[in-house]
Every structure is written in C-alpha cells, then in structure tokens.
Amino acid sequence: MTLGAWDAQGVGAVVVGERRSIVGGNWKMNTDLAAAVELADNVVAGCQALLSECDVAVFPPFPYLQAVGRALGNHGLLLGAQDVYHQPNGAYTGEVSSAMLLDLNVQIVLVGHSERRHVIGEDNELVNTKVRASLESGLHVILCIGETLEQRQAGRTNQVNVAQLVAGLQGVGTEQMRQVTVAYEPVWAIGTGQTATPRDAVAVHRVVRRTIADLYDEDTAGSVRIQYGGSVTASNAADLFAEPEIDGALVGGASLEADQFMGIVRAAVES
C-alpha cells in the first residue's frame, strides 16, 4: 500500500524531538451523506495550505467513506475509519475488514476509542487483535487510551493508561511502531466541555512515552506521536499544543464545524 505524500512528509520523516503534529476529526455517528461531503469539501478548502506542516485526518461514518474519500481527492488529507474488524472476511455480520477499508483508500484507523470500549464493550484483548491486524494490512493505527473519572478519582490514571497501552501494543514490533499514533483521551473529557489541563495531559503523555521506551527503545518512544483528545476546540487548542509533549489532537464535536476544525489545525501548525 502506498501512503503517497503522507509517507514522504509524515511518519516516515519523523525526526526524534521534531514530531510532526497530527490532527484528526472523529465525526462519530454524525452527519448524513450530503453533510459529510460538504464538511469534507470545506475541510479540504481550509486545510490544504497547512498540510505541509501537519497531518490532518478525517474519520467519517463507514457508509460515507467512499464519498468523503472522493471529496478529499489527492489533496493530502488522510481518510480514516472509526473502527475495523480483525478478520479478513467471512461470517461476521455488521463488521468491516481492513481489506475493505483499504479498498476505499482508507489510510488510518481508530482502534480502542473510548466509546468502543465503554459503550460497545470492547476489551483490551480485542483492541490488541484489531491493532495487530490493521498494522499487518498496512493501515496506520491511532490507538486510543484513557481513564474514566472514577479511575482518575481513585488515583488509577497512570495504571489504567499503561495497562491499555501495554495490552494494545502486545505483539507489535518496533518497525510497526512507525505506523502507530497514540491518542490519550480521558473519558471524562470527551464531549463534556471539560478539557484536561495541558499539565494533566502532559503528565499522562510522559508516562505513555516512558512506557513505549521501556517496551521498545528511546528512539521509538521519541518518534511516536501522542495526541490529546477530549473537548478540544479552536479556543483551547493553542494552550495544549504549546506543550512539546502534545503532538496534535483527536477532535470530536469541534470537527463537525469546518471553521472550528481548521482553527485547531492552524493552532497545531503555529505551535
């Protein structure tokens, strides 16, 4: 599979300490066909000039991937999927394989999003199976991790995030880590308007990076991008991105408005 311009400018070219930001718009179960295409058109128009300095991905609902992919054209934005199933094909009613996603020119996939874990009920083992299958197929993976409010209040933030990270990456080789981005999305910050402070986010990002260094090596840890997600808006993005530990954002609600989303991408470029 070829990643085109992204491969030339993106993860393949990451220099330790100079990680290229990546901003993703997770549209979740929102938009309809016409709104999805219009949003994609507007994001392309607004972001095109910024793509030399930042990777930008959109994650529309499955049924709109093809239409959104057409709207993205060859402008350099990444087409992403919100989930994937680990089996290549067969009797798995309702599921979508990485081969099907690749057929639609999907380049990047979310795995282990908090809504998959906490609403749909995915566990660490399934998340890991999906991570490995996606990487083997050539997709880039955003592995999402994050603690609930209860877990944070019980002082288990680091323990939970490390456990999700270690389990999610089990069996993933050092070379494959070039295809991996981690998104730290505290569950209590998602869709609540209660963004983590840059300080809180950085504290977890450091633990994530240290864990990757322990699992792999310092170079790998220095190259992996760690996004923050949870109520990121055009107004709070600059403060988050001012932290060198925060390599971009995974955006839900604010990615449904092209202006807001572009404001976040701009903040990433200016950081």
- Residue 193 Cβ vs ligand 13P, minimum distance, rounded to whole Å: 8
185 catalytic residue (yes or no) = yes
- Pick left, alpha or beta for residue 141 (phi over 0 → left; psi -120 to 50 → alpha; otherwise beta): beta
User: CA-to-CA distance for 264 and 111, rounded, in angstroms?
Assistant: 22
Q: 3-state class of 240 per DSSP?
A: helix
26 binding ligand 13P? (CB under 6 A)? yes
Q: Which residues of 220-253 are buried (b: 16+ CB within 10 A; e: fewer)?
A: bbbbbbbbbbbbbbbebbbebbeeebbbbbbbbb
User: CA-to-CA distance for 14 and 23, rounded, in angstroms?
Assistant: 15
- Residue 174 Cβ vs ligand 13P, minimum distance, rounded to whole Å: 27
Kindly state the number of chain residues that form the binding site for ligand 13P, as judged by CB under 6 A.
14
User: CA-to-CA distance for 231 and 249, rounded, in angstroms?
Assistant: 10
Kindly identify the residues of this chain, within the stretch 223-262, that bind ligand 13P according to CB under 6 A: 229-232, 250-254
- Residue 228 Cβ vs ligand 13P, minimum distance, rounded to whole Å: 10
Kindly identify the residues of this chain, within the stretch 111-130, that bind ligand 13P according to CB under 6 A: 113
185 binding ligand 13P? (CB under 6 A)? yes
58 binding ligand 13P? (CB under 6 A)? no
Position closest to ligand 13P via CB = 252
- Residue 268 Cβ vs ligand 13P, minimum distance, rounded to whole Å: 15
DSSP structure class, residue 212? H
36 binding ligand 13P? (CB under 6 A)? no
40 binding ligand 13P? (CB under 6 A)? no
User: CA-to-CA distance for 121 and 132, rounded, in angstroms?
Assistant: 19
Instruction: Tell me the catalytic residues.
Output: 113, 185
Q: Which residues bind ligand 13P (CB under 6 A)?
A: 26, 113, 185, 190-191, 229-232, 250-254
